Amino acid sequence: MTEQQAHIGISVDEDLMRRIRQAAALENLTVEEFTLKAAEQRADRAIDSHSATVFPADFFDELVEHLDEPGEPNEALERIAAAPRRVSIRDTFGAMPDASVPNRDEWNR
């Protein structure tokens, strides 16, 4: 089965077209091959650069240190933790379990 093809039509000024032709010739590619390859590489770089967060190793080490030894809770956190909670238990399809079933482990029996 053949993959469906899409078409991109672009207009460029003469100077850019001359440089694209020259670069394509230097790479022993057609203008279409050169343009497609350049667009594909740039698309991959753009997607990759937005798919991960990169930061220095010392920042990561400091982050892990703080996660391993959390500070004291502040007043707002203590207030939220002490507040009453309303909990609804649902099965994987979002349905409430039968009230007569006392234990979640018994739902799937």
Instruction: Name residue 27's amino acid.
Output: E
Give the pLDDT confidence score for residue 98 in this predicted structure. 59
* 37: in domain: yes
* 38: in domain: yes
User: What is the average per-residue pLDDT within 80-102?
Assistant: 70
d(CA 29, CA 21): 9
Cα 93 to the chain's mean position, in Å? 26
Indicate if the pLDDT at residue 1 is higher than 90.
no
Higher pLDDT residue, 104 or 13? 13
Q: Would you tell me how many other CB atoms lie within 10 Å of the CB of residue 93?
A: 5
* 21: in domain: yes
Q: pTM for the whole thing?
A: 0.48
Cα 64 to the chain's mean position, in Å? 22
* 42: in domain: yes
Quote the domain boundaries for residue 35. 14-49
* 103: in domain: no
The number of folded domains in the chain is 1
* 28: in domain: yes
Q: In the block, which residue shows the tokens 């469906």?
A: 4
